Structure 1
Amino acid sequence: MESITKNRQPAEKLRAMVSRAYGPHQLPADSGQWFSELSHGLFNAVYRIRLRSGKQVVLKVAPAPEVEVMTYERGTMATELTALQLIAEHTKVPVPAVHFADRTHELCDADYFFMSYVEADNLNAVRNKLTQAQIDAYDLALGSITRELNSLHGELFGPLTGPGETTWRATFLRMIEELLGDGERRDVDLGCAYDRIRAILSAHADSLDEVTEPHFVAWDLWPGNCMVRDGEIVAIVDHERAFYGDPLMEFGFAGHELSAFGDPAVFLSGYGHTSLRPGERVRRRLYNLHLLIVQIIETEYRQHQDTGQYDWAREHLRTAVHLFDEPIR
């Protein structure tokens, strides 16, 4: 999908970045197709580059500084680099290896980094070609991977790079208030009143106090960020939205309270958390509000020409809001 946040670079700039990262001896030949843009990402510009040695690597470039992004998207490349380091050093979850990162803005107007290229398929791109048994196997594995990531602990709630807060209630309420502020600043129509969302948060904020330990939360861990080969998930990519918080915010749990996100049963089995207590269900309903509002508001900031995502999320936000009128059974 097209987005104004994608900070595309000309070939000569890419060559300079390659030289800084790998040395002049790895500069690709001037002729030939030595780079191509990878289109699965929705936020950063991402390139596959073939070095002179023939080795393929991936370059990821953050949005240009003059492009306004949502509040939680500021500094996301630093978050991703921190997340990749934590995952690589403290888990067995497969992630690309970071080769070089440059935040000086000397060659490029934004942060960028190089990492290993994973020869595999994007799970979301091939999902409609799979049998149900294959899909279930991947969902089971994704549940297990998510649980392992959530086993990482932080000292405070909030961004991986800080600053943090001592309570999850304060962190989540700040996150969603920043989000609502982003929407109000651009006059984004959510399909329901902003004050209605705030009233729901106020009425159910006590449920957030059940979360007392900060866990690593990938948050954006959906099939579109899974690379698969020969029936296995061989890499998890795009970690720029990770934070320390409540594991129930992971995408795999979303369908438990809103069927539009799919049946979570196999994921839950892989995770080892097959049922949610009443307080957990309330929190998941709050997290679905957050997720859907993100999906609505980002279409304005990224200036999507296709209204499909906006329309879908707006419709289901109304459903998610109405759920708070129903008791938890």
Structure 2
Amino acid sequence: MEFQQLERTPGSFQQSVSAEQVQTMCRRAFGPDRQIVSAVELDGGMYNNTYRVEFAGERPAILRVAPEPSRQSRIERELMRNEHAVQPFLAPIASLLPQILAVDFTHQVIGRDWMILSLLPGVPAPEGFESWPRSEWGPFFAQLGAITRQVHDVSGPHFGPITGPGFRRWSDAVVAVLQDTAADLEDAGLDARDVREAVTIAEKNRPLLDEVTGPRLLTGDLFTINCLVREGDGPLTITGVIDFDRASWGPPEADWTIFMASRRTSPERDMFWTTYGPLSTDPAAVQRRLIYRVVHLGAIRLERQRTGRVDALAESYEEMSEVLASLR
């Protein structure tokens, strides 16, 4: 078997698996007769280790391996199990999702969760954008808005992650994730006083947060980087969407997709809202969205620390300071 892995420093968060481990996982999933031709580790992801696996006489597949449990933070614990659990609720966009071919949470083969998925057609959207002028990007964002709306129209049983813990009140879910984020940042040796202040603000705004009722399905991490687009001529078309490991139940305006779609404006990006629909301009909704920004900024800070982008940490503190000033 040809085997290629990315070069990583010994202390990096993502730890590659060996060629022997890849073979063992694939044989456990498909039996001893499946011949593996090659396994190539893919760049771009920042949490799981991902490999494109080629088989003799069979379709290629994607192997994803989660971090060891001891390396997972509070707000990123057992994300692969969360992604597995959300699949039935993603039925409205099933045609755009990879099929799960095998999944193993036993830790008998390797002390990490792993799953194998079908390979979707297309290339990552940021790569695909290079083939089209910016003026042609509008249809992509319109499709993304429609896909997001389909997900957000799915109702759920509780607030919080798909696999739990589940909360009856939205304010409990928000306070819990902010508390966990602060603890994770402190464990990483970062200053989390601003996130601790956000916890206090969320506590004071519980009545405002609890105006939200009826949890909806949130994508958790859907934006350009997790969309695949068609190669070749024709309009910029989404062929697949991936990585729903951070999916949860909550109000649509708290979703990462809405956070990202709102961060910048341009004629092309604004096509998102033509299919998704406009955000509420009610003062209470605007105030809640500020709290949601704090949640996302805390997660961004932790990710930058985890992936070694310490030079970008200052930006999260500056933006957090601006949001907290508005909330005060």
Which residue type is aligned with residue 86 of structure 1? Answer: F
Which residue type is aligned with residue 244 of structure 1? Answer: W
The aligned counterpart of 1:38 is 42
1:73-125 deviation line (CA, Å, top 9, x unaligned)? 111111111123331x3545511000010111111111101000113111133
Which residue type is aligned with residue 208 of structure 1? Answer: L
Shift in Å at residue 16 of structure 1?
Answer: 1.1
Q: Could you say what secondary structure the match of 2:45 adopts? A: coil
Aligned-partner Cα distance in 2 for 1:158–1:274: 22
Aligned in 2, Cα 1:20/1:320: closer, same or farther, shift over 3 Å?
A: same
1:36-86 deviation line (CA, Å, top 9, x unaligned)? 11112110000000012242100000101332x220211111111112333
Percent of aligned pairs sharing the same letter: 24
Structure 2 gap ranges (5+): 1-5
Aligned-partner Cα distance in 1 for 2:270–2:208: 23
1:279-298 deviation line (CA, Å, top 9, x unaligned)? 11111111111111111123
Aligned in 2, Cα 1:312/1:81: closer, same or farther, shift over 3 Å?
A: same
The counterpart of 1:241, out of the listed 243, 246, 250, is 246
Tell me if the contact between 2:134 and 2:268 (Cα under 8 Å) persists in the aligned partners: no
Tell me if the contact between 1:254 and 1:264 (Cα under 8 Å) persists in the aligned partners: no
1:71 aligns with 2:74: yes
The aligned counterpart of 1:293 is 298
The aligned counterpart of 1:185 is 187
The aligned counterpart of 2:32 is 24
Shift in Å at residue 263 of structure 1?
Answer: 8.7
1:6-62 deviation line (CA, Å, top 9, x unaligned)? 242111111111111112221224xxxx11111121100000000122421000001
Aligned-partner Cα distance in 2 for 1:234–1:103: 29
Aligned-partner Cα distance in 2 for 1:38–1:57: 12
1:312 aligns with 2:315: yes
Structure 1 gap ranges (5+): none
Q: How does 1:95-110 map to 2 (within 5 A)?
A: 95-110=97-112
Tell me if the contact between 2:138 and 2:268 (Cα under 8 Å) persists in the aligned partners: no
Aligned in 2, Cα 1:228/1:255: closer, same or farther, shift over 3 Å?
A: closer
Which residue type is aligned with residue 214 of structure 1? Answer: P
1:154-196 deviation line (CA, Å, top 9, x unaligned)? 1111121233111111111111111112123333135x63443
Once the two structures are overlaid, the 10-residue window that deviates more, 122-131 or 139-148, is 122-131
Aligned-partner Cα distance in 1 for 2:311–2:95: 33
Superposed CA RMSD in Å reads 2.5
- The alignment of Structure 1 onto Structure 2 pairs a total of residues equal to 316
Q: How does 1:21-170 map to 2 (within 5 A)?
A: 21-29=29-37, 34-67=38-71, 69-87=72-90, 89-92=91-94, 94-127=96-129, 129-170=131-172
Structure 1 length as normaliser, TM-score? 0.87
Tell me if the contact between 2:128 and 2:230 (Cα under 8 Å) persists in the aligned partners: no
